[in-house]
Structure 1
Amino acid sequence: MAFSQLTRRATLMLGLMALSALPFSTPALAQGFPDRPITLVVPFAAGGSTDVVARIVAQKMSEDLGEQVIVQNVAGAGGNLGAANVARADADGYTILMGTVATHALNPLILKTKPYDPQKDFAPISLLVIVPNVLVVNPELPAKNVEELLALLKAKPDEYSYASSGNGTPLHLSGELFKKMAGVSMQHIPYKGAGPALNDVIGNQVPIMFDNLPSSSGHIKAGTLRALAVTTAERAPSFPDVPTVAESGIPGYETYTWNGLFAPANTPQPVVARLNEAANKALKDPAVIERMKEFSAKIVGSTPEELSAHVTAELAKWTPVVRDANVQMD
């Protein structure tokens, strides 16, 4: 065999070996995805609404994907620990995040040291659900609606206080946005969690609170809390008689807790598309729809582009609120 033929053959073999060592092409990766379990990181402790949403959706996604979607709670630093872990994970779709308004809007604005960029370090998958907050008061407070509450606050500035689950939390900043848009003053009393805050509102140590609707709903039904308004643009189906803040004299007011799926940045687009398909299919399951109704979660199910736009809008909305409230944390 001529030397030139040997050279060509050797070159061909080396080329084939090099190709075989490369990662699968994007279409092939998507076609074979997933071939092992997926970890869905919930950046909060088990039992909260974010954890509940994650477990409901993960179960149905597992059925569609043919591999288990395993929920892993990585609590700490207000959601930053779990979110940062996913931002640093391999961009292969096998580690994804249940993101929230805290991980992708508030924490990045509040923290002096930022462990990740909410836009550059993640690939959006789908905005899953929106969970309303609710403005509640102790029944002894002489305010039956938002209009009467505003009258009280304007008549006696800073005499009334409101509780929250902690400095810089979505519930704290819901109160700050309320103050800003209504032009009223009230003192903020931060607690180490929503539970202790709620207990003191029920006990009338603090008269006012913005809370997640799921955790307050039982107390509202029992009469130990009075719901003045929900914070979403539309009324909550589980409490159709409770008006929105916007329709109660503060037009344009809207806050809520939301849950969305994110992968690490640079995750191949076909993998993101497959995860999006499985997540949105799960949200259409009748059993999932009924479970979400139980705690007034509004099902969305979006494209990755729509979730990206949602994060951008949330950052724009909360930036002036965080600045005016002068909330900064290490």
Structure 2
Amino acid sequence: MTRLGRIFLGLLFACAAVTAQAQTYPSRPIRLIVSIAAGSVTDVIVRKATMELSPQLGQPIIIENRGTASGIIAAQACASAKPDGYTLCVLHHDAMSYNPLHFANLPYDPATDFVPVTRLYFINEGLFVSSALGVKSVADLKAMAQAKPGSLNFATLGDGSFPDLFLRWLNNQWGTQIVGIPYAGGGPAAQAVAANQVQMTRFGIGNFLGLVRAGNVKAIAVSSDQRSPLLPDVPTFDESGLKGYPGKGWWGLLAPKGTPADVVAKLNSTFVKLFSDPKFVQYLESQAVVSAPTTPAEFAAFLVEDRKAAESLVKVANTKRKEYKPQ
């Protein structure tokens, strides 16, 4: 056999192996890293999704929660994993768009270390305060924060996180000194607000509905363009005088760089089918999120645009880049 023939035969075997892998994938459990604490609304949604998806894939999906550090720990773990389709990650705007603007020497590169699989959904958020604070509106909160500098605390996901960025923007807009306190996710943050350990925060509405209905937390504004049917008496940010904040929260599914294209395509079709199913979309709406699945190419293009929006927001918030120090 000639050298050219051997090369052609080798390529043929390689293509056959890739095709066989895609046909048999997955053949063992899949590890899914989620960059938020257990009990947070995204964790609840992802667990619901995996219950639906595991039978379709024929293998269990094992969730590994890695909250804290603005998603950096989860993103690093995912980026450094073997790119064989058996480690995936659910990451958000902080990890993929904002962290590079806030931190030098990140242990991962959001632009090159991942393969986008699909965007999953956008988040409807609210501004929440502890009922013990006695605040009934954004105007009340602004007056209190201005009258008592440094006396109010705000739950975030750490320096540079989306809630922290909103807090910096708010302090700049109001001329206040509200203090950020980091938590591992929306669930822990919600409990902290309910206990008045921190007085306020901005997170996904789904984290707070039970506490609002129980009277432990008060919602004073929502981030959507229209009032939320889950909180119909709560005004929008625009109605409350909080116009101009350009950020929008989202979550998506990614895999380590080098994950085979056929595997990515199979994962995309499986997740998109579920996140487009009317019953599951209705469930997502009950969790105050908006289903928004995409193709891998569409998600990749969205990430480019989201990073541009992040740059604009960081300028408005007047934040400074600092060295990332592992916890």
Same fold (TM over 0.5): yes
Aligned pairs, number: 318
| Matching residue of 2:59 | 68
1:217 to 200, 205, 209: 209
1:324 to 302, 318, 323: 318
Distance in 2 (CA, whole Å) between partners of 1:325 and 1:16 is 55
Normalising by the residue count of structure 2, what TM-score does the alignment of the two structures yield?
0.80
| Matching residue of 2:42 | 50
| Matching residue of 1:163 | 154
| Matching residue of 1:185 | 176
Q: Which moved more, 1:141-150 or 1:210-219?
A: 141-150
| Matching residue of 1:3 | none
Distance in 1 (CA, whole Å) between partners of 2:31 and 2:196 is 42
Deviation at 1:213, TM superposition (A): 2.0
Task: Please state whether the residue corresponding to 1:246 is helix, strand or coil.
Answer: coil
Distance in 2 (CA, whole Å) between partners of 1:204 and 1:137 is 9
CA contact (8 A) 1:91 1:264 kept: yes
Distance in 1 (CA, whole Å) between partners of 2:14 and 2:58 is 25
Task: Please state whether the residue corresponding to 1:301 is helix, strand or coil.
Answer: coil
Distance in 2 (CA, whole Å) between partners of 1:167 and 1:98 is 18
Distance in 2 (CA, whole Å) between partners of 1:121 and 1:234 is 37
CA contact (8 A) 1:135 1:211 kept: yes
Task: Please state whether the residue corresponding to 1:123 is helix, strand or coil.
Answer: strand
1:291 to 278, 283, 296: 283
Distance in 2 (CA, whole Å) between partners of 1:12 and 1:159 is 74
Deviation at 1:227, TM superposition (A): 0.8
Deviation at 1:230, TM superposition (A): 1.6
Q: Which moved more, 1:272-281 or 1:200-209?
A: 200-209
Partner deviation per Cα, 1:184-233 (whole Å, 9 max, x = no partner): 32321414445665455445464332233222222211222221112244
CA contact (8 A) 2:204 2:288 kept: no
AA of the residue aligned to 1:101: H
Distance 1:203 1:267, change over 3 A: closer
Partner deviation per Cα, 1:162-195 (whole Å, 9 max, x = no partner): 3214532332222223334x34323214144456
User: Mapping of 1:1-330 within 5 angstroms?
Assistant: 9=1, 14-15=6-7, 18-19=10-11, 22-24=14-16, 28=19, 32=23, 34-37=25-28, 38-64=30-56, 66-75=57-66, 78=69, 79-139=71-131, 141=133, 143-153=135-145, 156=147, 158=149, 160-168=151-159, 169-180=161-172, 182-193=173-184, 198-199=190-191, 201-204=193-196, 206-253=198-245, 255=247, 257-319=249-311, 320-321=313-314, 324-326=318-320, 328=322, 329-330=324-325
Task: Please state whether the residue corresponding to 2:131 is helix, strand or coil.
Answer: coil
Distance 1:239 1:115, change over 3 A: same
- CA radius of gyration, larger in: 1
Structure 1 unmatched ranges of 5 or more: 1-8
Distance in 2 (CA, whole Å) between partners of 1:51 and 1:195 is 9
Task: Please state whether the residue corresponding to 2:108 is helix, strand or coil.
Answer: coil
Query: Cα RMSD between the aligned structures?
Result: 3.3
Distance 1:147 1:302, change over 3 A: farther
CA contact (8 A) 2:39 2:187 kept: no
Identity %: 28
Partner deviation per Cα, 1:124-146 (whole Å, 9 max, x = no partner): 11111223332112335464322
AA of the residue aligned to 1:324: N
CA contact (8 A) 1:164 1:171 kept: yes
Normalising by the residue count of structure 1, what TM-score does the alignment of the two structures yield?
0.80
Deviation at 1:21, TM superposition (A): 5.1
CA contact (8 A) 2:89 2:253 kept: yes
CA contact (8 A) 1:214 1:296 kept: yes
CA contact (8 A) 2:34 2:67 kept: no
AA of the residue aligned to 1:22: A
AA of the residue aligned to 2:167: G
Distance 1:47 1:158, change over 3 A: same
CA contact (8 A) 2:68 2:157 kept: no
Q: Which moved more, 1:66-75 or 1:128-137?
A: 66-75
Distance 1:18 1:171, change over 3 A: same
Distance in 2 (CA, whole Å) between partners of 1:11 and 1:318 is 52
| Matching residue of 1:4 | none
